[in-house]
Structure formats: C-alpha cells, structure tokens
Structure 1
Amino acid sequence: MFLPSCSTHKAQSRRRQRTSKSLPGPDATSFYVNDRFADAVPMTTNQPGYLGPTSYSAILPKDEVDTIILDTAASIASDGSDFEMAHQHPLTKSMRIQMTTEVLKCLRHYPLLQDVIHLLKQYAQTCIVPLPLEIDLINGLGPIVDRFNLMHSVPDPRLVLKVLDNSSQPLEIPDGLKAGEFHQLCSGDNIRLEVLGFVFATAGRALSFGLCSYHFADPASPISKSRMIDELLRASTTCTILCTLISPVNHVTLWMLYENYSFTLMVTGFTGAPSWRRFGELASQLYALGLHREPTAPNVPTWLLETRRRVFSMCFLQDKTLSTFLGRPIRLSKRHTDMRMPRDLDDDEIMADEETLQQAIAGLDEHGWNTERRYLRTSWNRMRCISATYREEILDVALSKLDSNVERQLLDISRRIRESWDAFPEHLRYWPNCWNEKISPYVCLMLVIAHQTHWYNEFIIRKLLDQGQTPITSNLELLSVSTSLLSATLTLGTIRDRLYDIHKEFLIEVVLCGIPSASVLATALQEQHRTNAPFPPSVSRAETIRMLSVLISHLDAAAHLDSSSARPGEANYNLCKKACKAFTKIVDHVLEPRVEQITPNTADTELDLDLTLFSAPGLDAFEGIEFAAGDDGSIDWGAMTQWTL
C-alpha cells in the first residue's frame, strides 16, 4: 500500500490551512435570514401533526404552548421567508414539475377513469370512503380536463404549477361542511395530487378486477389493459412520493395511501417488499393525522366522523392480515386507540344532510347494526374489524412459550370468537347454501371473506395449541376448522361473472386461508397413511382428498389465467407453484403408494413432506420439505414465503 511521505503530509496541511483561510466562516444570522434557499421546504410541510398526551406540547408551560400554536398558525398563513425551513426539497423543482406532468398525462384516460369509478357503485362491496364521495371527486376533475384539453394535449405548465401549489397547502375542512361539498376543496380549481393518486389507484384496482374490460376489447385499442394498470400504478405511486415530500398530511392523503397500498398488494403480492413499505407509510401518516383517536373538537361533521372511523377500521384490519401473513409485529394496536367502529350505515345515508343522517343513526340497534337485514359496505368493515381485534390478542401471545397460562388465554379467546360470531346479525353469518338463494354473488363473496377472516383466528389458536404431542388425526378441533376454511375457500372457485373477476378474490383467499388449512389436512393424510390411525367420525378422508385435489387443479390453472396474479412473473406465481407441487406429491403418494418393498427405517421419510404450518412462530412455510431424488430435487423450498405468526 502506498503511504505518503512526511513532506507530502506537510504540503497537504499547508494547502488545507490556505483553503480554510480563504473560506468565510459560518454565520447563523446570514444563513437563516439573508441567504434564502431558492427551493426551501415550507414550514407547513414539516408540521408535526397530531400530538398526544405525553408530547412536548403537553409538557411545556401554558404560555409557551400558546406561542407554539400561534407560530404554527402564522406559518400556515404566511408566505414569508421567515417561515421556510433551512433546507431545500430533496427533489428539485424541475423534478417535481416533471413528475407532476407525467401524473397529469393519465387524465387523457378520463372517460375510462370516470366509467370505472361509477361502476364501483354496482359491484364494490368495500370502499375506504363512501362511494358518492369518490364519485364527486372524479366528477370534479371533469372541468379541469375540459378546460386544459387534457385528453388530447400535454398538461399546461400553469396547471402543473397550480397542482403543486395546491398540494403544498394544508387541506382545511370548515366546521359544518356538508359531505356533498367536500370535493370542492380538493378538485376543480383546487385540484391536488392526493386526489389524483387516490382516483388512479382506485381505478387501477377496479380494472384489475375486470371492470370496464370492454374498453380494451377492440384490437385497435391504443393501450392494453395490463399497460393501463401499470401506468395507473406508476402515477399513483408518484403521487404518494410527491405528497410525502410536499403535502401536509390530511384525510385525502390517507385515502390515497390506502388505495395505493391495496393496488400495490395486488401487483406485488403479500410477500412483496413494496407492500410492506407502503403500509408502513400509511400507518405513520395515520398516526400523524390522529386518526387513531376520536376527535375531541365539538364541531366535526358527522359524515366526516363516520368516514374517519371507516378508514381506521379498514387500516386496522389490513395491519393484522399483513402482519399475520409475514409473521411481523403489528403497527396499529388497539391498546393505543380509542377510535370507535363505524356505524352500520349506507353510503347514501352518510352523505345525506344532517337530519337524514341522524334519523338513520336512530334506526340502528344498540350495537350499531342496521335492523333491516341490509348488506352494506360498512357491515363488512364492522365484522372484520371485530375479527381483527381477536387476531391482535392472538398475535400478542403467539411468541410466548405454551404453558397453562398461555393455553388458558388462547382458550378464552377461542370462546369469545365463537360468542362474537353468534352475536353478529344472522344475515351476515355465512351459510353454504347462500349461493343458491336470491342473494347477489358479490354479497355471497363477502359472506365468505368475512367468515374466513373470523374463523382463521380459531385456526391459528388450534395450531398454537397443537404441540405435536398427539396425532393430528385425533385433533378434531384443528381438523374441523381446517376443513371448514378450505371448503369455504373452494366455493369461490366455482363462481363466474362476466363483469367482475371473482377469481382474483378467490386466489387471494387461497393464499391467505386455503393453502394453510390445506397444509394441515395434507399433513393429517400423511400421518394417517403411515399409521393407519382413523380420522374422527366427522372428518371424511375421501372428502379431504377430494378438496385437496380440487385445490391442486386451481393452483395449477392459476399459472395460465390472465386474472390470477399467479402467472410467471406475477405476485403469487412461486407461492402457488410450490404449494401445488407439494400437495400433488402428497395426494399421489397417498393414493398410489409404491409397491416395492420399503424398509421400516425409510418408510416414514421417503415422502415425509413437512407441512406443519404455524408449528411455531417464525418458521417458514414448507420449511424442511424434502423430496426423494427426482425431477423436483432442485426446488428451492427455503425461498417460500412465510405463513407465520
């Protein structure tokens, strides 16, 4: 290694001394007052947002708190340099302009975006906000699209600057604002990036589920559906990036982040790193807005209060779903929130005038459910939010060593899970024959999903209680709940709809509930094949084999379906492919055992595929699977995702 000589060190030292003498020293006054950054971050972007009871603002003396509040209000209202931060934007102004221009180009598809969002009123069973509110937002963009001819020309630079300026301002909601007037604050001349990101993500998800497919039926169509979906995801994600940097957090920010997370989840899957990161940003901004707390201000409009509750309940559910699937800590804990569940109200009732809304609230029962056996979008939110509270309790004890105390806690949760199911309104509790009755298939779909969300809690409990000390073939509770989950999942595979792709929902349920429950049943078949131990009388071996065979056929077909998200290169391809091969090996071995002599020492290991999911928190799904030497010997089972606690 070359080492500089002593004379070299001296020369370098002299040069440093000369350089330091020629540079002016830092002057704080000059830096903050006289030297203005050309692209300084405004103070409004750095506002702290919600501050809780242990925050610095609660600890400071009253007069200082008042000063901070006054300074905050002044900084929001002032355009002066005194209220700019002492650093510049991470993205230069030209970069922000370029990104916003690309986002606005998506409005050349405005008729399609408008059509698909209007169709949601017919098909969507769950929405982050009341659908009329979203329809108002997309309709409110129409005048801007027409005025600037955005369907046929590139965005006007003046519009680009206007959007950036609007998005950098706080979104203040006046007291007494009516629901039907909200869109005026953030669309039309007040167009904001948050609204664009929200609309693009919502429309992209709807297109993924097959809505408005007729727009792409013409072979001469200038853009394919897959390219359109990709463009909308890119534009929506660009909006989230820009808003994170320039926009004070507001309600529309959260709506945008939730829809973008859900859209990203469809494209990258539950195992995709972008999905995890998107939800992290959503949870952070939710806390910053204080959406985990019931508002204390006396004049919050009732429609906004119900919308806040609805948003939180859906985020709370997604938190538990993602954390369970990846085996990671939750981000939204019920211990740190006092937000109530949304009332079981229709979207139109929430958007109505205050008198009509209060009449609808008065018609609910003592628990907040509607009494007219209506299937409402909020009904599904309420049900699954209740189920998610039990999931959090289970996750809290999942890492504990199983002892008598933990077992007692789990059994108590199990009891309350059953009681809460019985307490749900009867028409919301799934029954297998619902598909044959005069009920919308989209309602039946949600009945299944709500059922799976609730009873998967029981599945996790039974897996935690199963320590492998007794044969799984004698574990009636675990086998029963696994059979119920897999059977309900498979019913979705038989439904076909020309306008809405239920098959995509089916594959999601396969990933979340079908494969884990099937793994338990496959393990039981392996054990029964080795030991000849009988299944409990209420569990049919033949029916178990039939359900596994049907699941295998669906997993195999998913690799060839446009709408499955399981084709090569798509989110769930590897997961479904590996699960399909594992289940196929087991079923083939059970039905067609080898006829050659097998020694006792090798009989149990020749095809002992370890599918003991949830055997301990943190274990990889399919970990330890070993195939006999053959064409599948090169499968990297360690790369599988996790179904861990």
Structure 2
Amino acid sequence: MSRRLPACNPCQSSKLSCDHAKPICSRCRNRDMVDRCSYRDRPFKKRKAQALLDNTHAVPQSVSRKSRRYPNPGYLGSSSHTTLFDHLSGNDQRHVTTNSQEDMNDDPSALGCAVTDDRLEQGAAFIIHVRASARLLAWKSLIHAWVSEGINLPVAEPFTISCATVACFTINQCGNEVAESPGSLQAPARTSRQLFTQSCKPLKMAAGDTIEDFCELFCRNAARWETLGIFFTAVSRATIDITHFDSLYSSEQERRALRKLAMRFSDTCLDIALSLDCLNDLQLVLQYENFILHSLVDGDQSYHSWRKLGDVVSSLFALGYHEQLGSASVTPLFLRELRFVSFSRTYSADKNCSIFLGRPPRMLKRYCPTADLPETWETGERFTYRADTRVHSICASLKEDVLDLQKEDQIIRIQKANHIRDATEMQWAAIPTALRLDRPLSSYNQRHVEVDFLVSAKLNFAHVKFLLELTITPRVSNPGIELLRTSADMLSLVVEAIVLKQRLANSGTSLVWKVAYYGLAAAGVLCLALLYSTFDRAAPDATPSKSIRDLSVLVAEIETGALLQPEDPNYALLSGAARTIKNLLDRLITNKFTAQADTQPLIDVLAQPPLRYSDDELITWDTHGLQDFDPEFWLNLSEHPFLMTSESGMLQ
C-alpha cells in the first residue's frame, strides 16, 4: 500500500497538487514562493474539536502580528501632511484609494489585520448560529423572487444575486462538513478564518477591469464578511416587499420575525467588517444598504438610523469620494460609477433626513465637488435604479440651494428663489417623457416598480417646489397660491398612491416614507390653511373641499390599518398626525358648520375668518421655516386653541 505524503502549506491551502519535494516543492519554486514553502510536523493527526478551537486562540502571525501595510488611513485631502510630504518626495499620491495600494502577495501575513482570537471564535459561532436558524436555500429563492419583480438593492444591484449565491454556498458547505462529523467545530473555524482573511484583502482593480472582475474579488472562492452582509440585507429587504412566501412565512408575525433576524445577521457582518479597519468600496456599499434597511425597519425617527447615516457619510469622506472618484487611468469606469452612485444616494438621504427631522445636513456642496458633477439623460431612457439615483441627486442639490436661502434677506432670497425655480423647471423638463408622471396612475400598465418610480420622481421635484415656496412665504398660515397648489398636488398624488398601492412596488422609497415625508408636509400646509381659513378663491385646483377629501382619505387609511400597523416604522408619527387631522376636520364640519349648513355653502363658510381667536392669540402656532413640518409640528398643532373645547379639552 502506497504511503500518503503530506502537501506543503501553500499547496494545501490553495488546493493544488504538490510533488512533496523537501525542503522546497517544485510548485513553490516555480511560483517564486521558496520562503513560504513549509510542511507541518504532524499533517495527518486528527485533532479534537475543542483542541481546534483552542488552537484558534493562538492567532497565526498571518492574521494579526505583522506590521500594518493595509489598511491605509484613507483620503487625507489636498492640504494634508501626507500630500505635502508626497510633493517633497516627488511622489504625488493625492488619489490614494484601495485600488492604488502597492502590490501585495496573497500571503495574509502581508495584510496585517488585527484579528484577535475572540473575533475568530465569534465568527465561527456566528456561522453555526446562521446554519441553525436560517433556511438559506429558501432565503435565496426569496431574493430571486424579489429581484424577478424588478426590485433590488439600489447600490448593490449589480451583484445582489452573486452575493446570495456565494453566501449560501459558503455557509452550506461548512454545514455539510459539520453533518459528516457531528460536534466538530473545525469547518466553522476554518470558514471564519477564511472570511476574515479575505475581508482583510484590498479590492485591487485595473483600469480595464469589468464588473465581473470586481465580483470575482468577493464571490466564488473569495467570500468576505461583506458578501454575507449584502445577502442578509437583501433577504430582510425582500420581506418588506413580498407579503407572502409560503416556504418561509405564512403570517405577518412570521414575516416580521424573518425580517428582524436577517437584519441582525446583516448588522453582525457589517460590524465584523468595520472592526477590521479595512475600508473599501464593497464595505461602503454594505454600509449604505444596511442604513436604508434600518430606515425602513426601524423608522426614520430612530436614532439608530440617523447614526448609521452618519457612519456612511464618514466612510465616504474617509475614502475621499466627496472630492474624487479615482483617476481614469487606474480606476475602471464601472467602479467610478459605483462610487458616484454611493455618494449621490447618501447625499440625497442626508438632505431628506435633515429636512424631515429638522437637523442640519452633514454633506454640503461647498465641500463636495462630486455633488456638482453633471448628470445627463439619454433619449428614450427607461426606468433603472441609475435613473432613480439621478433624480435623487438632482433634487438633493436643489434642496440644498433652497436650504441656503434661509441665510439671505428677503430681497436676495426672492431673487435667488427665482433662479432655483427656473432650474427646477429646466431639470424636470429634461427628464425623458417616459419617466415623467403626467396622467392618473390607473392609466399606467408598466411594471409596479416602474410606476412607483414615476410617483417618486414627481413627488421629489414637487417637494423642491414646496420647500422653495415655503421659504419665501412670510407666514405659512397665509400661504400664497403656488404653495397651496403645490401642497394640494403633493397630497393628492400621495393619496392616489395609497389608494392604488397594489400597483406600486418599492423602487427606492417605500410608500410609508412617501406619506410621512411628502404627504404630511403637504397636509400640514393645508391644515393651517383650513384652520386659518386662508384658501384663495383664485386657485380652483386647491379648494377646501378637495383638501378635506384628500385629508379624510389619508386619515381613513391610517386609522383602519390599511397603510401600516403599530409595529411599522413611523407609525407613531402618522397615527398622531391622523388624530390631529381628524380633530381638525371634525371641528370644521360639525362644530363650525352645523348651524349654517342649510343656508350657506361650505366653501363660503371656509372663506370666513376664524372665530373667537385673534391673530395675536394664534401667532404661537404659526410656522416660518423649511423644517417646521418635522414630527414636532403635529404635536404642537394638536394643542392649537382652535382644536380645543372648553368642556373637555382637546376634541376627541
């Protein structure tokens, strides 16, 4: 019987045949790896599972004990100390990214990532937990069903399916080995080390590489923690849009449980990747998608979501993508495009969250030249997530211009407002006709995700006009025709989307976000106009009766639970606003108009000034700024004296 001979360590780890020559095998000699060729003392000795885990405590030098050549400190700016010294040494490296790192061999010892024994053990325990609690093949099927409807992760879209396939294979392969040797922890420990090792490697690309080449760096046999994180993020996102999936959940409770579980797995993978301090493009993508997931699951008022947005902004700044996206001579076009999409969507999210929550924005154009890169439309362009990103980027830039108007005096403010208004109209006119909503939603036969995009795009541009008119209005309690018309149009479109919600799919912003962000802002202006009886007869498309109808539908959808449930994000905000709107409508219709219903039309009564309270008494509830329709607005409005009764306090 022939005697088995051990392979050297490099050949064994690479799963290559070895001629077993000592001291250096032929393959290592030919591969110029003489200094790495070595043999284990007891290569075929079986070790107990616990002994293996104990061995992981002694973290190999290949993972943690070499000097840190990677990661780099990120982009340090044109005036930093490193840039100045680079100029002195004649080595200009102003565009340092993960792709311009000096060449490294595949030996993990050159990476220098500080992975402790506890982290390796925690990684193995996490893999075991995933194997025990997740039906991975069914999760993968869920993602395929989700993507087949045209929905996807907006930034990770090009490699969502690839990440799902590789993540399932990596974890299932580990589980198969465990099944063959019950109780063994060898496979999870080895998989954990491989994931850590791959996650420590920089994503090096050449100018001529393609998106397929990029995927090779974190797919197939090179799975990273970020790969698993994108997979779990996609699973959690899919449960939001697919209400029924028999092989995984048959009730709302089961669907929410799966959503939370997958989100926790995504959080764990992201935390592990961040702990390595190896910032790269894939990690940035995972950070953004994880933030959006928390925004959808936890709500936009959640501090956790706000903090995660700040983390994404910090990573963008650290990578320098606010100033440069990589030199065209060394960075492939698709990668610069991926970085621009990541920046644009984060920049838009920063503006929207700032306005919604009444907080200062983190990203400003004066410090972000990338925000001023021109965006153009192709003739006959159809819906894509790239087109959705373009709309977000254009509107976010316009919204920042509107925010800056608050610093100007009234004369300059109106002058600049006219320029912004013209720019908004020009940008809207530049959008291809197929991507502009210009007729009732019920007349569109496109895929649900495309119809949702049409709604989102029109609401986004309408919101710019809304903010602009709000800025130049001295008193919101006495709005002009344009503000009333814009508010009425926004609310009508939101109500139409609610009524026809079965025809919409999440193209990038959920229906609840549309209601909370656009619908409530418009409803706030209309409620103040009803409260102060300041509707203008010269605006036939913004009448009290139309506003009351739309507000009533909004209240009914929220109160009946047709729009969202108590467990859904932003429920407290929407339900509180619905109660306030209902109180206002009840008071207007029953208390104020009952005695006059037989003798005077409703619109004539609404034209009368409010009774009992003077302007001095009501001035406390007047609003003046862009961010006065944040969640506190509805709490203050509910305490308005016009919505109180002397007998029982607030009208119920």
TM-score when normalising by structure 2: 0.75
3-state SS, counterpart of residue 456 of structure 1: helix
Aligned partners of 1:294 and 1:532: how far apart in 2?
A: 49
Aligned partner (choices 376, 380, 392) of residue 384 of structure 2: 376
1:49-97 deviation digits (Å, cap 9, x = unpaired): 123211212211546575999xx96796698999969xx77xx532553
Aligned partners of 2:235 and 2:171: how far apart in 1?
A: 17
Task: Verify the 8 A CA contact 1:309 1:341 in the aligned structure 2.
Answer: no
Aligned partner (choices 205, 208, 220) of residue 176 of structure 1: 208
3-state SS, counterpart of residue 466 of structure 1: coil
Task: Verify the 8 A CA contact 2:216 2:222 in the aligned structure 1.
Answer: yes
User: Which range is displaced more, 425-434 or 463-472?
Assistant: 463-472
Aligned partners of 2:281 and 2:635: how far apart in 1?
A: 42
Alignment identity in percent?
Answer: 21
What does residue 281 of structure 1 align with?
Answer: 311
Structure 2 letter corresponding to 1:232: A
Structure 1 residues 193 and 183: CA distance shift in structure 2, 3 A: same
3-state SS, counterpart of residue 591 of structure 2: coil
Q: CA deviation at 1:205?
A: 1.0
Q: CA deviation at 1:111?
A: 1.4
User: Which range is displaced more, 198-207 or 429-438?
Assistant: 429-438
Aligned partner (choices 539, 550, 555) of residue 552 of structure 1: 555
Task: Verify the 8 A CA contact 1:555 1:576 in the aligned structure 2.
Answer: yes
Q: CA deviation at 1:389?
A: 1.0
What does residue 235 of structure 1 align with?
Answer: 265
Task: Verify the 8 A CA contact 2:263 2:293 in the aligned structure 1.
Answer: yes
What does residue 130 of structure 2 align with?
Answer: 106
What does residue 578 of structure 1 align with?
Answer: 576
3-state SS, counterpart of residue 122 of structure 2: helix
1:476 aligns with 2:481: yes
What does residue 356 of structure 2 align with?
Answer: 325
Aligned partners of 1:46 and 1:120: how far apart in 2?
A: 36
Task: Verify the 8 A CA contact 1:327 1:617 in the aligned structure 2.
Answer: yes
Aligned partners of 2:448 and 2:109: how far apart in 1?
A: 58
User: Which range is displaced more, 72-81 or 573-582?
Assistant: 72-81
Task: Verify the 8 A CA contact 1:141 1:188 in the aligned structure 2.
Answer: no
Aligned partner (choices 536, 541, 560) of residue 544 of structure 2: 541
Structure 1 letter corresponding to 2:522: S
Task: Verify the 8 A CA contact 2:198 2:224 in the aligned structure 1.
Answer: yes
1:564-590 deviation digits (Å, cap 9, x = unpaired): 5x5335421210121011100111111
Task: Verify the 8 A CA contact 1:310 1:342 in the aligned structure 2.
Answer: no
Aligned partners of 2:203 and 2:128: how far apart in 1?
A: 20
Aligned partners of 2:621 and 2:67: how far apart in 1?
A: 55
Structure 2 letter corresponding to 1:319: D
1:316 aligns with 2:314: no
Q: How does 1:74-113 map to 2 (within 5 A)?
A: 93-95=117-119, 97-99=121-123, 101-102=125-126, 105-106=129-130, 108-113=134-139
What does residue 491 of structure 1 align with?
Answer: 496
The CA RMSD over aligned residues, in Å, is: 4.0
What does residue 53 of structure 1 align with?
Answer: 78
1:204 aligns with 2:236: yes
1:584-628 deviation digits (Å, cap 9, x = unpaired): 01111111125799x9984569x9798756546567423533252
1:414 aligns with 2:440: no
3-state SS, counterpart of residue 160 of structure 1: helix
Aligned partner (choices 435, 456, 460) of residue 442 of structure 2: 435
Q: CA deviation at 1:159?
A: 0.8
Aligned partners of 1:115 and 1:80: how far apart in 2?
A: 34
3-state SS, counterpart of residue 296 of structure 2: helix
3-state SS, counterpart of residue 189 of structure 1: coil
TM-score when normalising by structure 1: 0.76
What does residue 131 of structure 1 align with?
Answer: 157
1:301 aligns with 2:332: yes
Q: CA deviation at 1:235?
A: 1.2
3-state SS, counterpart of residue 48 of structure 1: coil
Structure 1: tracts of 5 or more residues without a match: 1-35, 344-366, 636-645
Structure 1 residues 491 and 48: CA distance shift in structure 2, 3 A: same
Q: CA deviation at 1:291?
A: 2.5
Aligned partners of 1:228 and 1:41: how far apart in 2?
A: 41
Q: CA deviation at 1:338?
A: 3.9
1:471-521 deviation digits (Å, cap 9, x = unpaired): 33xx10110000110011111112254995799922211100001101111
1:115-136 deviation digits (Å, cap 9, x = unpaired): 2332343334564346342222
Q: CA deviation at 1:42?
A: 6.0
What does residue 452 of structure 1 align with?
Answer: 459
Structure 1 residues 470 and 159: CA distance shift in structure 2, 3 A: closer
3-state SS, counterpart of residue 215 of structure 2: helix
Aligned partners of 1:503 and 1:141: how far apart in 2?
A: 24
Aligned partners of 1:580 and 1:228: how far apart in 2?
A: 30
Aligned partners of 2:87 and 2:439: how far apart in 1?
A: 61
Structure 1 residues 608 and 302: CA distance shift in structure 2, 3 A: same
3-state SS, counterpart of residue 201 of structure 2: coil
User: Which range is displaced more, 115-124 or 162-171?
Assistant: 115-124
Task: Verify the 8 A CA contact 1:306 1:342 in the aligned structure 2.
Answer: no
What does residue 621 of structure 1 align with?
Answer: 633
Aligned partners of 2:191 and 2:522: how far apart in 1?
A: 53
1:344-363 deviation digits (Å, cap 9, x = unpaired): xxxxxxxxxxxxxxxxxxxx
What does residue 519 of structure 1 align with?
Answer: 524
Q: CA deviation at 1:536?
A: 3.2
Task: Verify the 8 A CA contact 1:168 1:246 in the aligned structure 2.
Answer: yes
Q: CA deviation at 1:408?
A: 1.6
Q: CA deviation at 1:166?
A: 1.8
Task: Verify the 8 A CA contact 1:342 1:382 in the aligned structure 2.
Answer: no
What does residue 474 of structure 2 align with?
Answer: 467
Task: Verify the 8 A CA contact 1:197 1:239 in the aligned structure 2.
Answer: yes
Q: CA deviation at 1:268?
A: 1.5
3-state SS, counterpart of residue 327 of structure 2: coil
User: Which range is displaced more, 136-145 or 585-594?
Assistant: 136-145
1:122 aligns with 2:137: no
Q: CA deviation at 1:212?
A: 5.9
Q: CA deviation at 1:551?
A: 0.8
What does residue 188 of structure 1 align with?
Answer: 220
What does residue 424 of structure 1 align with?
Answer: 431
Task: Verify the 8 A CA contact 1:520 1:611 in the aligned structure 2.
Answer: no
1:458-478 deviation digits (Å, cap 9, x = unpaired): 111111111128833xx1011
Q: CA deviation at 1:194?
A: 1.1
Aligned partner (choices 556, 566, 569) of residue 568 of structure 1: 566
Q: CA deviation at 1:434?
A: 4.5
Aligned partners of 1:386 and 1:509: how far apart in 2?
A: 18
Task: Verify the 8 A CA contact 1:193 1:239 in the aligned structure 2.
Answer: yes
Q: CA deviation at 1:177?
A: 2.6
Task: Verify the 8 A CA contact 1:556 1:580 in the aligned structure 2.
Answer: yes
Q: CA deviation at 1:433?
A: 2.5
Structure 1 residues 93 and 613: CA distance shift in structure 2, 3 A: farther
